[in-house]
Structure 1
Amino acid sequence: MKKPFGLYAELVRKLERVPEAPVRMVLDTDTYNEIDDQFAVVYALLSPEKLKVEALYAAPFFNHMSTGPEDGMERSYEELHQLLERMGRASEGFVYRGSRSYLPDARTPVESEAARDLVRRAMASSAEDPLYVVAIGAITNVASAILMEPAIVDRIVVVWLGGHARHWPVQDEFNQVQDVPAARLIFDCGVSLVQIPCCGVASGLNTTTSEMERYVKGCGAVGDFLMERFYGFREDHFGFSKIMWDMTAIAFLIDPDFIPTHLVHSPVLTDQLTISEDAGRHFIRCAYWVERDNIMRDFFRKLKEYADS
């Protein structure tokens, strides 16, 4: 164990450091894909004492909510505008379009407004004062920025909701399988990375219809917007609970105790979408638990205070 720590001492030091508030960050999100993205964006914007959100990037996605990656990105871009409108916040110079496709291979970036803006902000940062890049979708935009300007690897810390817990039999998680070359690049390039696995970790952050109706509904225009999205997610709410996956990435930066983590070797993502372990690889920080109640209390309290202000 001593040899890897010696080889990657600087990387480990950066991962051990608790960032001083407010944390400078950008948020990369496939906002229209699900409903937890909207909650994550609001949670970040309602936490200015902890987070300084400098930009929002629309990430590509492709499922039943879009006709393809580009359409998913455009729908996410528009959803961010709608969300900011409900909060009375300007979107010009704050919301950027992301990639119109996934990475074609491990060497070719997909140029976009988001990737270019990330490069610009990262190059204006430093190893001592890195930019935190919070990604809660396919990590195409971030991987593209790294391919466009590899020097940013030493100037950013990536917090990514992606993949599943290591004990999970298959790594077929939505954010990861959409752009496998991008996911591999993030695991392989040596960037300071905090991974929040989905099934087995983030899956512990859930909420119910009754909780939403009590603590979100009626909390101003943005609370009603979130409630509208919650109701629209599915028709049958009987005995239903919703996992709020994406909020975990925000919660980690608000209070690292909300999302306990430990150092592990960066995984190798195989062609069979499984994880291969290699003790010679660099370290990343990986979440293993979610303090569900503390996170939801913090979010509900902030939303209520915002609505009452």
Structure 2
Amino acid sequence: MVLDTDTFNEIDDQFAVVYAMKSPEQLQVEAFYAVPFHNKLSTGPQDGMEKSYQELLQIRTHLPEMSDVPIYRGSEAYLPGPDVPVESAAARNLVERAMATPDDDPLYVVAIGAITNVASAILLEPRIIEKIVVVWLGGHALHWPTAREFNLHQDLHATRTVLDCGVPLVLIPCLGVASHLQTTLSEVRDYVKDKGPIGAYLYETFENCNKDHVGYSRVIWDISAIAYLIDGSWMPNELVHSPLLSEQFRWSFDASRHFVRYVHYIQRDRVFKDLFGKLG
């Protein structure tokens, strides 16, 4: 697998990176790609991508398992229009890795941010859809009043590219599905803090995410995509026709479209038990 992550944007990406690297019996992480993002933590997508790249380097200082895994800068902008890729080291590396992958052993592309890098790679070399499986945390549940969610709405053109192109896709919604993955400072203190330098790093990151932790919980969204690959039975799913996305960020449906795999629930306790155990 490769992990496509907006690592500086939230605290959940750090947990996902660590979870992937602490699961060598199930996952072989071949590369990390920094993803653009734009919110109060960045001045624009280019700045968000660079901060995510630097955050990946920072995590590597606490996690020896990452020392030999390459990290690539991703897109500096969102797709400017339909079918218009954005060149980046990440997109080019994904194309190279995918095309070198045997037909019977796909490369899993785990995406936990805007889908710009992945969509750009597909547009640069459409044949990679025969070589990869995309596991993406994006949008909200298909029954939700809106699909508008941070990963999805940042790059409408990239989202539509991935939903429309026919690439094998596992879609993990945020609200209604990954939103089950809540934890608290007390739980992180008990099961993460004392698990070496990386445990202390994750605990400090969680502690600093909010000023008041009384009655407060936080969703660690991004570990959902890692957990799916570790044990899909924790995340009940079904085949559905790939949804259509309007410019108003609403889902609609067409039964003539290709199928994608849609996760509709997460067994929260199984995921956190596995994560906490591996930190030890």
TM-score category, normalised to shorter length: over 0.9
> Compared with structure 1, are the counterparts of its residues 93 and 223 closer, same or farther at alpha carbon in structure 2 (3 Å cutoff)?
closer
DSSP 3-state at the match of 1:27: strand
Opposite residue 111 of structure 2, the aligned amino acid is: A
* 1:265 equivalenced with 2:264 (yes/no): no
DSSP 3-state at the match of 2:261: strand
Opposite residue 226 of structure 2, the aligned amino acid is: I
DSSP 3-state at the match of 2:64: coil
The answer for the alignment partner of 1:175 in structure 2 is: 151
In structure 1, how many angstroms separate the alpha carbons of the residues matched to 2:208 and 2:69?
30
DSSP 3-state at the match of 2:53: helix
Once the two structures are TM-superposed, the CA of residue 113 in structure 1 deviates from its matched residue by 0.7
In structure 2, how many angstroms separate the alpha carbons of the residues matched to 1:28 and 1:90?
15
Q: Give the alignment's TM-score, normalised by structure 2.
A: 0.98
Opposite residue 77 of structure 2, the aligned amino acid is: S
In structure 2, how many angstroms separate the alpha carbons of the residues matched to 1:194 and 1:168?
18
User: Gaps (5+ residues) in structure 2?
Assistant: none
Q: CA RMSD in A?
A: 1.0
In structure 1, how many angstroms separate the alpha carbons of the residues matched to 2:208 and 2:57?
19
User: Gaps (5+ residues) in structure 1?
Assistant: 1-24, 305-309
The answer for the alignment partner of 2:163 in structure 1 is: 187
Runs of 4+ off more than 6 Å = none
DSSP 3-state at the match of 1:63: coil
In structure 2, how many angstroms separate the alpha carbons of the residues matched to 1:93 and 1:31?
16
- Report Cα offsets for 1:199-242 as digits up to 9, x if no partner: 00000111011100000112111111111110111111110111
* 1:151 equivalenced with 2:127 (yes/no): yes
**Percent of counterpart pairs with the same letter?**
59
Check conservation: 1:126, 1:154, Cα contact below 8 A: no
DSSP 3-state at the match of 1:51: coil
84, 89, 108: which is aligned to 2:60? 84
* 1:226 equivalenced with 2:191 (yes/no): no
Opposite residue 254 of structure 1, the aligned amino acid is: I
The answer for the alignment partner of 2:73 in structure 1 is: 97
DSSP 3-state at the match of 1:33: coil
Check conservation: 1:45, 1:53, Cα contact below 8 A: yes
* 1:131 equivalenced with 2:142 (yes/no): no
The answer for the alignment partner of 1:204 in structure 2 is: 180
What is the 5 A alignment of 1:21-100? Answer: 25-89=1-65, 91=67, 94-100=70-76
The answer for the alignment partner of 1:298 in structure 2 is: 274
Once the two structures are TM-superposed, the CA of residue 27 in structure 1 deviates from its matched residue by 0.3
Q: Give the alignment's TM-score, normalised by structure 1.
A: 0.89
Check conservation: 2:15, 2:202, Cα contact below 8 A: yes
Check conservation: 1:81, 1:91, Cα contact below 8 A: no
